[in-house]
Structure 1
């Protein structure tokens, strides 16, 4: 196993055990908004601390970019870990059992390692650039369906701060619905991408994501024969946060409808 992947897996499992333990004690959850207006809980904060502790123990010079703490600089500027300690926070608060821990490691701006862990199902999605993607040690391949008809797509409704785009978004969903597309709305973007990589769903699109939402999932999709673009078919999703993912034919068809 790649040494950084080994550390990422160790960190996600440690955080996952902590999250599941507190999931069973809902009164221990304290929720609040951080300075980027994102809902987080005391569980996010403490889980992130556990992850950073594991990473720092092995790689004290690496940089870290995380949902709760933001940027933590290190001497080695070439390597950055991107952490979402609890993707699907609202689900966790409501005791809807669909959330994950997401960790990616980038080397000179390119994602090399990805781990997404669902602690409720004990599903561990991993990827190493050029070596494929796996779920619990088994190789992943995405959906090979070609046409949108009878596909299952996953998406999410725009957040409150993106409400000015809601009308356009609903028009897109309506247009796709008339093409016999089925929709899922799960509230966990990292798992959405992991499910595209595993073929559980055929495609995914969403607007306004943050880097920690998709850094790991993007590599999973690519390493399982899929592609990821923005709504214009380019790689500008890193700055825009607008994502389309799936196999080549599904993404092309989605982009035609979006345009």
Structure 2
């Protein structure tokens, strides 16, 4: 796929995303539902935005495939990622923030070709932040090129750790043991409640490191590209050679050096957890 073709995709989808953002700004008096887990919220706007984006993109590119959060939830199945052009959509990342009027939620779209993310668009209409990137061409916020902070020392790191995922019993000890070892080594801990914005804020240098385990493709597809295109580093936290966007467990950092320091500490935390669980 040529750079000009990817640019055409970008130019077509950005106005769709901006229009979807208007729906979020106008939203009021809506019903809040839950999915399989009581804390996993969904609104009519999640469904409406995803349906509209898929419909419009499919009209323009009928051969393209789609993986959407809400359509996957409705079918209780996530489509297989193939080598065909595939749009991975999160209509509202940070729905819990959205329903509480916290201005940290965003529409996220990533495009994969040959199972690799080649394009990403993320829009937080509450703060008028439009992030976008084409693989190999850098990352941009409102048309201004952005870079990570470049931090290499964990002692000065602002670390975003998505602690709400520790509600899942299978992940709780993993999160808490790592937090115990990391909290005294970093400058500060944040938990933003939006995976994609966590990645965006690493890309723009506002946060130095962001970690989350147990997410889905729509949470990371666009943001993982942003971090790399902004000069950062992203790795799989389970020991795989690279992040698997269909089963993402990741640490995103401003630099490889910073990643190495985090992972060394987490290795100690994981060993302590495993030893204690075996007792």
TM-score after normalising by structure 1: 0.91
SS at 1:3 equivalent: helix
**1:201 equivalent in structure 2:** 207
Choose from 127, 145, 150 the match for 2:151: 145
Q: What is the Cα deviation at residue 166 of structure 1? A: 1.5
1:39-54 matched pairs, under 5 angstroms = 39-54=41-56
Which residue does the alignment assign to 2:12? 7
Equivalent residue runs for 1:97-116 within 5 Å? 97-116=103-122
Structure 1 position 38, deviation (Å)? 4.4
| Cα distance change, pair 168–111 in 1 and its aligned pair in 2 (3 A) | closer
The answer to whether the 8 Å contact 1:143/1:199 transfers is yes
Deviates more, 1:1-10 or 1:55-64: 1-10
Deviation, 1:236, is 4.2
User: Could you tell me whether the CA contact under 8 Å between 1:29 and 1:93 is conserved in 2?
Assistant: no
Match of 1:187 among 193, 198, 201: 193
Residues 61-104 of structure 1: per-residue CA shift (max 9 Å, x gap): 2101100112898xx96110000000001111122121000001
Q: Is 1:134 matched up with 2:140? A: yes
Contact 2:166 2:172 in 1 (8 A): no
The secondary structure found in structure 1 opposite 2:223 is: helix
- C-alpha contact 1:14 1:51 (8 A) present in aligned 2: no
- Structure 1 window deviating more from structure 2 (175-184 vs 221-230): it is 175-184
Question: Is 2:77 aligned against 1:56?
Answer: no
Matched, 1:31 2:33: yes
Q: Map Cα deviations across residues 162-186 of structure 1 (whole Å, 9 max, x no partner).
A: 3233123122112112114311101
Residue-by-residue CA offset, 1:186-236 (whole Å, 9 max, x unaligned): 100000000000001001111101000000000001101111111126314
Q: Does 1:254 align with 2:262?
A: yes
Q: Against the structure 1 CA distance between its residues 190 and 50, is the aligned structure 2 distance closer, same or farther, given a 3 Å change threshold?
A: same
Aligned mates of 2:257, 2:266 — CA distance in 1? 14
- Look up the match of 1:65: 67
Counterpart for residue 89 of structure 1 = 95
Residue 177 of structure 2 corresponds to: 171
CA contact (8 A) 2:203 2:227 kept: yes
2:131–2:140 contact (8 Å) kept in structure 1: yes
> CA, structure 1 residues 244+127, in 2 after alignment: closer, same or farther (shift >3 Å)?
same
Query: Any conservation in 1 of the 2:211–2:252 contact (CA below 8 Å)?
Result: yes
- Residue 153 of structure 1 deviates from its aligned partner by 0.8
- 2: CA distance, partners of 1:109 / 1:168: 29
Alpha-carbon distance in structure 2 between the residues aligned to 1:145 and 1:128: 24
Distance in 1 of aligned mates of 2:78 and 2:181 = 43
- Give the distance between the partners of 1:146 and 1:77, measured in 2 at CA: 36
